[in-house]
Amino acid sequence: MNLPRHSCCRPAHNTTMQSFIDTLSDTLYRIDFAILDAIRQHCRSALGDVLLPLFSHLGDCGTIWLLAAQLLVLRRPTRRTGLILLAALFAANLLGNYILKPLIERPRPFWLAPPADLLPSALRETSFSFPSGHTISSFAAATAIFTQDKRLGAPALLLAVLIAFSRLYLYVHFPSDVLAGALLGILTGRLTARLARRIQ
């Protein structure tokens, strides 16, 4: 038999904690949507509608980073960088897409409030929103490269930023999804590089 969800059936401290969590979640959603709507109002353009989906596609399944890893592994001087990149990419994908997304199950913004001018490429997204898989993978890969070669790492980080922004532009991730993905990606890339140094 299901008990009625009444305050007398739950400890007071649990009720207070749940209320705090709900308030925090609502506040975060309001901030996230405000940022997304500001991007739509002030950053949307015909050129952006062409270029930003292309940047987003570069991050699909880590495509651009897998290609970069293959090119780096082919040359002996950069082989170690390529292998560390692959390890970081694997770890980031495992953490973001196979652990956190199914665990948190956060809906994507366009599932909750689809804008009238949503670009068609957004409709391909069917997985959960937190964290941004494109962002965590891109920052993990770019950070891994940067730890080994700053000359190559700087443009890699710039590309990671563009891929991350494209996810906001397309309205497929909340800003907090992207921020978390960037922080987790940087942490993953640094830890992978540090582990590689210890193994060497």
Angle at 170 between CA 88 and CA 57, to 5 degrees: 45
36 near 109, Cβ under 8 Å? yes
Query: What Rg value do the Cα atoms of the chain yield, rounded?
Result: 20
Three-state DSSP at 169 gives: helix
Contacting residues for 104 by C-beta, under 8 A, at least 6 apart: 128, 130
Q: Which of 6, 42, 57, 134 is catalytic?
A: 134
Say whether 6 is catalytic: no
Q: Cβ of 194: how many Cβ atoms within 10 Å? A: 11
Q: Which of 6, 42, 57, 173 is catalytic?
A: 173
Say whether 42 is catalytic: no
Catalytic center residues: 134, 173
